[in-house]
Structure 1
Amino acid sequence: MTGLVTAIYDIGCAFGAVAAFIWGERIGRKKSIFIANFIGVTGQLNEILEAINLEAADGEASWSEVFSNATKSRNLQRVLLGMGPYMMNQWSGVNALCYYLAYIFERYLGFSTQMALILASVAFTQYAVMSWPPYFYMDKLGRRWSVILSSAGCATCMALIAGCLLAKNSAGAAGAVAFSFLFLDCFTLGILPVSWSYSAEIQPLRVRNKATAVGVFSHWLSNFVVVMITPIAMNAIGGNYFWIWAIMFHSRPRVLMGLDKESTKVIRTTAADEENRFKAFAAMGEKGGVEEVEEKSL
C-alpha cells in the first residue's frame, strides 16, 4: 500500500512538472500577472524586477559577503537572525514528540501497537489540517504575536505532557494523548509557518539563497541533535524529559520585529504605504527606479 501511494505521488509530480513546463513556458509569470490586470500586482512586479536588476549589476554574492556585517544591509546579522526561527522550530521539542509519538504511546502510555499507530496517524492528519489557518491570519496578527502565542501554548502542553507521563494511569495516558494533539496544533499555528518564512523574508535579495541555505542547515542540524538524544533521554529519565521542552527558550519579540529598522532604514510601515508604493511603481513603469519611489514615499 505504501509503495502504491508513493508511485501515485511520483506520477502526479511527473505530470505536474510537464504541465508546468508547457504552460509556464507558454504564458510565463509576467504574462500571467498582466492577464490579471491589477495595478497593485503590476506595481509589485515592477519593484521586484527593479530590485533584481540593481542587485544583479553587482554580480553574484560570495560566501564571505554573506557572513559580513561590513555591508549596507548587515548580512551577518540577518543570517544569524534568520537561523533563529529555524533552530527554534526544532528546539521547541516538536520532533522529540513527532518522531517517537507512536513509540511513546505504546511504551510509556500502555497502548497496543495498533492503537498507538492509529492515534499517531490521527495526530499527524490533524497536524496537516491545522497548517492551513495561518494563511488567513499570519499577516494580520504578525509574526511576533504568532510565535509568542504559539510558544506559550507549546510550553504549556509540554509541561502537561510531562506531568501526565509521570502519572502512569489511564487518566494520565488520556491526558498525554490529548495534550500531544494540542501541542501539534499550537506548533503548526505559529512556530511552524514563521520559522520557514521568516528567514527568506528578512534576507537581502542578493544573498537570499545562500543565507536561507545556512538557516536550513541549522534547522536540520538541530533536528539531528534532538532526534538522536530523545530515545536516550527517554530511557534515562522517562516523562521528565519533556520538562526540558516546557522551559526551553522559545522566542524573543525583538527577533521577529523591527529588523529593518535596526539594520537599514524603514520606509514602509503600514499596508497603505506598501500599496501606495506598488501603485507608484505601476504608474512609473520604466521611468524611474527604486530610489526615486522611496524618496517620494517618505
Structure 2
Amino acid sequence: MLKLEGRSLQTAIAVSAGSAYLLFGYDQGVLGGLVSYPGFLSAIGNPSSGYLGTIVALFNIGCLCGCVISAFFGNRLGRKNAIILGCAVMVIGGTIQASTYGPGQLIAGRIISGIGNGMNTSTVPVYISETSRSTKRGRSLAIQMSIVIFGTVVAYWLDYGMIRSQTGGVVWRFPLAFQNFFALLTIITMPILPESPRWLYSHGRQKEAIDELSRLFALPIDHPNVQTVVAEMEEALALEHNNHKAPTFRGIFLEKSEIKNPRRLALCFLLQFFQQFTGINVIAFYVTIVLESNVGLTREMSSLVAGFIQISFWFGTFPPIFLMDRLGRRKVLMLGSTMLLLAMTLFTVGIAVKTTASSRLALGALIIYEVSFGMSWNSVPWLYAPEITPLNLRHVRCRRRMFLGMAIHVIAQMTPPAIANTGWKIYILFCVFIALSIPFVYFFIPEVRGALNFPPLDSSYPRSREHVPDHSLLIDCRKDT
C-alpha cells in the first residue's frame, strides 16, 4: 500500500471521495443538456413532456433506494466499502444508459445509477468528516456542495461540446458513458486510503483506528493531538451507548422536554421543503428547455447559455466557504432568500412580457438567481439539520433524505408539462415560496454556528455571537448510518 500521510493523504482522500461526490451533480445535470436534443429524444421514442419528466425524475427514486440501503447496511460495510460498492453500481447504471435503445432501458439505467448515487451521497460526507480535523463545519460542507455543482458544470459543457462538434448517437451516448470515469477513479484510488478511524474504533478495531489517526495527522501514536482525538472518540461512543435506546413515535413527536425534538425535526423538514420550492431543480434539470421555451433562445444558443448559467451557479458556491462560519446560518439564508425573490420576480416578469428587452432581463435575472442560490440555500440546509439533531435521532435523517428525494421527484416530473401548459405562470409558485422563506427563517431558525453539539432553541440563542469550542472529531465522528 502506498504510505501517504498528513497533508498528502488528506489531498488523496479529497480527490477520491470528491470524485464520487461530483457524480451527484454530474448525473443531475447530464440529461439537462440533452433533453432538447432531437437525436436523444428520437432514441427514446420522442416521449411526451410528462413522460420525459418521469424519465428524468426516476433517478431520484433510485437515490432514495440507495439512501435506504446505506441506512441499513452502510455501517456494516464500512465507509470505504460502501463508497466502492456505490461507485460499482453507478458504473453498471452508466453503462446501461450509454447503450440505451429505448425509454425502458434508459429508465433502468437511471434508477440503478440513482441507487449507487444515493449510497455515495449518504456515505461520502461522513467519510470526509471522519478523516479530517476541520474546525470549520460550514466551510467543509460548502466545499463538498461546490464539488457537486462543479459536476453539473462538467455535464452541461460536455453536452454542449458534443452537440457542437459531433453527430449521431455519440453526441449523447458519450456524456452518459463519461460518468463512469469518475466512478472508476474512486474505485481505483479508494483501496489505498485509510478506513474511517471512527468506524474502526466503534467496531472494536482500536489499534487500527489509532494507527490511521497517526497517518492522518502525520504524528506518532503517543502524540497528545492523537491521544486527544482518541479520548474524544471514547466520549462519543459512550454518548452513543447511553442513547442507544430506539426512539419511539411518542418520544420523537410528542415529547415535551427542553430538547424539543418535534420542533427540531420540523425545522429540518421545512428547511428542505423551502430549499426545493425555490425552483432550483427546474433550472438544474431543464435549463435548456427553460431557455428555449420561456426565454426564446434557439436550441444551440440555449445549450451554450446553459453552460454559462451552471458556471454562475458554481461561482455562487464559493462565498459560503468563507462566509458561512463568519456570518452564521440565518444571515446567509435571509440574504439568499431576498436575492432569490428579486431574481425570480424579475425573471417571471421578463418572460411574461416577452419582448427582446424583457428576455434579456429574464436571462440576467436567471444568472443572479443561480449565484444567489449557490451562496445560500444550496449549502445551509444540509449543514443545519445535523447540527440541531440530537444524537439518538440521527437515523431520522434517512427519512429526511427520502422527503427531499420525493420533493425533487415531484418538481422534476411536473416541470415539462407545467412549462408547456402554463408558461410563465408556474414561476409565480416559486416566487410565493421564496417570499415565505424569509419570515420562516427570521422567526423560526435559531443561529447554531460554532455549537459543540445540538444547541438550545430558546429565543436568546439566535442572537448570540459567542462560539463554543468545536471539538470537530467528537461531532463528526459519531455514528451516522
Cα deviation, residue 183, structure 1 = 0.4
Question: 2:469 matched to which residue of 1?
Answer: 274
CA distance in 1, matches of 2:218, 2:458: 34
CA distance in 2, matches of 1:139, 1:187: 17
Question: 2:216 matched to which residue of 1?
Answer: 32
CA distance in 2, matches of 1:264, 1:149: 21
Q: What is the identity percentage for the equivalent residue pairs of Structure 1 and Structure 2?
A: 18
CA distance in 1, matches of 2:263, 2:460: 15
Q: For 1:11, give the aligned amino acid.
A: L
CA distance in 2, matches of 1:2, 1:145: 38
1:2 and 2:175 are equivalent in the alignment: yes
Provide, for residues 84-138 of structure 1, a one-character-per-residue CA deviation record: whole Å limited to 9, x for no partner. Answer: 2111110111112332210011122222212111111221133123213211110
CA 1:141/1:23 → structure 2, altered by over 3 Å: closer, same or farther? closer
CA distance in 2, matches of 1:61, 1:34: 38
Q: For 1:162, give the aligned amino acid.
A: T
Q: Which runs of 5+ in 1 are unaligned?
A: 282-298
Of stretches 126-135 and 177-186 in structure 1, the one that deviates more from structure 2 is 126-135
CA distance in 2, matches of 1:44, 1:102: 49
CA 1:129/1:242 → structure 2, altered by over 3 Å: closer, same or farther? same
For normalisation by structure 1, the TM-score amounts to 0.78
What is the aligned counterpart of 2:445 among 256, 259, 265?
Answer: 256
Question: 1:149 matched to which residue of 2?
Answer: 335
Question: 2:345 matched to which residue of 1?
Answer: 159
Question: 2:414 matched to which residue of 1?
Answer: 229
Q: For 1:5, give the aligned amino acid.
A: F
CA distance in 1, matches of 2:214, 2:387: 22
1:132 and 2:321 are equivalent in the alignment: no
Question: 1:85 matched to which residue of 2?
Answer: 271
The equivalences for 1:144-293 within 5 A come to 144-208=330-394, 210-248=395-433, 249-251=436-438, 252=440, 253-257=442-446, 260-262=455-457, 271=466, 273-274=468-469
CA contact (8 A) 2:295 2:359 kept: yes
Cα deviation, residue 72, structure 1 = 5.5
Cα deviation, residue 191, structure 1 = 0.9
SS at match of 1:245: helix
Q: For 1:87, give the aligned amino acid.
A: F
CA distance in 2, matches of 1:146, 1:205: 26
Aligned length: 273
For normalisation by structure 2, the TM-score amounts to 0.51
Q: For 1:241, give the aligned amino acid.
A: I
CA contact (8 A) 1:67 1:76 kept: yes
What is the root-mean-square deviation of aligned Cα atoms in Å? 3.2
Structure with more contact order per residue of length (Cα contacts < 8 Å, sep ≥ 6) = 1
CA distance in 1, matches of 2:365, 2:412: 20
CA 1:272/1:43 → structure 2, altered by over 3 Å: closer, same or farther? farther
Q: Which runs of 5+ in 2 are unaligned?
A: 1-173, 198-207, 449-454, 475-481
CA 1:112/1:270 → structure 2, altered by over 3 Å: closer, same or farther? closer
Q: For 2:469, give the aligned amino acid.
A: E
Cα deviation, residue 176, structure 1 = 1.5
Cα deviation, residue 193, structure 1 = 0.7
CA distance in 2, matches of 1:33, 1:156: 46
Q: For 1:216, give the aligned amino acid.
A: R
